[in-house]
Structure 1
Amino acid sequence: MKEPELSKRGKTGCCAPVEQRPGAGRDAGFLQSALQVPPASEAIRQELRARLKPITGGIFEMGTRRSSFADDLDSPRRKVKLTPYRMSPTAVTNAEYARFVAETGYRTVAEQEGWSFVFHLLLDNADRFTEFPPNVPWWRKVDGSCWSAPEGPGSDIKSRGDHPVVHIAWYDALAYCNWSGLQLPSEAQWERAARGGLANRKFPWGDELMPGGKYAMNTFQGQFPMHNSADDGWIGTAPVDAFEPNGFGMFNMTGNVWEWVHDRFGPLPAAGKLPPLDPTGGTEGYARVQRGGSYLCHISYCDRYHVHSRTRNDPDSSTGNCGFRVAAAA
């Protein structure tokens, strides 16, 4: 089955708000909170590490031949070399993050600030929430929304323990990593794992958007952003192990939620005579990279649901479609 045709609206920027909280220099407190999280016991750390799957090292081609969004800097393809590593087969779940919070008392950026952004179709009455960022009115500022109350006061995660935790800023992911003894994957590690051993393919399973005529990821169906038909079974997040895993046993590497990685945003590793070994991004810049797309990706607006797709956001930004997964050295 072919991808649906573009609407008259045409392709444009990412569907997520960017630079939502003023002032890149005001987040030193968030970093300090993340770094001060007490470590988990050795038994818990070993338990969490044991859940990771091994990913073979080697050379692979990163990026795409031609980018749909020049500002994403995801082209051209270039060879990268990685040493073996381990990575979580799923994004961190609500239940896993709740365990971390219960043990540490950590408060996320959204909790410290008192608000986050929620997609309007997930609200009972979006008209009640009149504040939204420029150019993306489908995001509404909701006081009290956070990882444990994804749609604001009165909502909860009781029936979503196996869904990815959302409203997570990069600092909140860093805090979990400091507690667990794990780390955010580098962007190169993330993409190699997402490709599942396939070379130069669009998706973790190949090139067809719907292999065999079936949905293989959680994205937006219908007319973005006003009507989601939920033909894939989900309007918001789906369980982290929904749909089939790829060749490396990784679930939902595209769609569902954007995933933070370690790297600062900038050009992909430079192509040279020898592939760069274990690149981790630049040392300058403020924004951090997010990978994989989310349940809001749609061909008519933001089709960043490919294995090479990338976007960026400030490390203190949180939205209802952003989470993370973890990795470790082999």
Structure 2
Amino acid sequence: MGSDNSSFVEERSPGDATVTNFCIDKYEVTNAQFGEFVKATGYVTVAERPLSQKQFPDLPDEQRLPGSLVFEMVKPGVKQVSFLSWWHWTTGANWQHPFGPDSAIANKSNYPVVHIAYEDALAYAKWSGKSLPTEVQWEYAARGGLDGATYTWGDEYSEHRDKLNDRKLC
């Protein structure tokens, strides 16, 4: 598991890993499923909570408002500063308002839930009687049995194959 060919600094070099039997859902958690969890438990996600004044004492109140990072494609002709320029902090963005307070998930009940922090995912997994996969389990499942391949289909990048892996949950 891992890769020596990755441009991601956090990626570990390949190593042997033993994966025991485990189960993993075939599809992502949907807005509808997460909504059932919230309705049953009253759970409030990390993105829906203001940042703690104790944890962030130097931030003014308006910078501690609930929100999340929203992905925005760089406009054509605009020089990109870094990969982080794709992401913008948006007050009011959360799982029910994926692009900010003026957006909604109406008619998107089967779309994957977004703006979920690790803490939120753990809470959902516990409620649903499941667990989150470890990194090794996730990579093993994502590779679909290929050992050492760069992509889930092999080592050669293919835009066509990449698009085949896209799931449309409508």
- TM-score by length of structure 1 reads 0.41
Q: Are the equivalent residues in 2 in contact too, given 1:162–1:239 (CA < 8 A)?
A: no
Shift of 1:136: 2.6
Match of 2:158 in 1: 210
Shift of 1:146: 0.4
Match of 1:101 in 2: 38
Match of 2:79 in 1: none
Distance in 2 between the 1:208 and 1:166 partners? Answer: 30
Match of 1:74 in 2: 12
Task: Within 5 Å, give how 1:16-95 maps onto structure 2.
Answer: 62-69=1-8, 71-75=9-13, 77-95=14-32
Aligned length: 148
Q: Are the equivalent residues in 2 in contact too, given 1:173–1:184 (CA < 8 A)?
A: yes
Match of 1:175 in 2: 123
Q: In the alignment, which of 92, 107, 112 is matched to residue 159 of structure 1? A: 107
Shift of 1:157: 1.0
Q: Which runs of 5+ in 1 are unaligned?
A: 1-61, 123-133, 219-237, 243-330
Residues 1:117 and 2:69 are matched in the alignment: yes
Residues 1:193 and 2:122 are matched in the alignment: no
- The amino acid across from 2:10 in the alignment is D
Shift of 1:164: 1.3
More helix by share: 2
Distance in 1 between the 2:117 and 2:162 partners? Answer: 33
Match of 1:184 in 2: 132
SS at structure 2 position matched to 1:96: helix
Match of 2:168 in 1: 239
Q: Are the equivalent residues in 1 in contact too, given 2:3–2:11 (CA < 8 A)?
A: no
Shift of 1:99: 1.1
Identity value in percent: 42
What RMSD, in angstroms, separates the aligned Cα atoms of the two structures?
2.5
Distance in 1 between the 2:113 and 2:26 partners? Answer: 15
Q: Which is bigger in relative contact order (C-alpha 8 A, separation at least 6)? A: 1
- The amino acid across from 1:142 in the alignment is T
**Residues 198, 175 of structure 1: alpha-carbon distance in 2 compared, 3 angstrom cutoff:** same
Shift of 1:135: 7.4
- TM-score by length of structure 2 reads 0.76
SS at structure 2 position matched to 1:142: strand
Shift of 1:211: 7.1
Q: Are the equivalent residues in 2 in contact too, given 1:164–1:239 (CA < 8 A)?
A: no
Distance in 1 between the 2:148 and 2:34 partners? Answer: 34
Match of 1:58 in 2: none
SS at structure 1 position matched to 2:85: coil
SS at structure 1 position matched to 2:149: coil
SS at structure 1 position matched to 2:142: helix
Distance in 2 between the 1:135 and 1:79 partners? Answer: 31
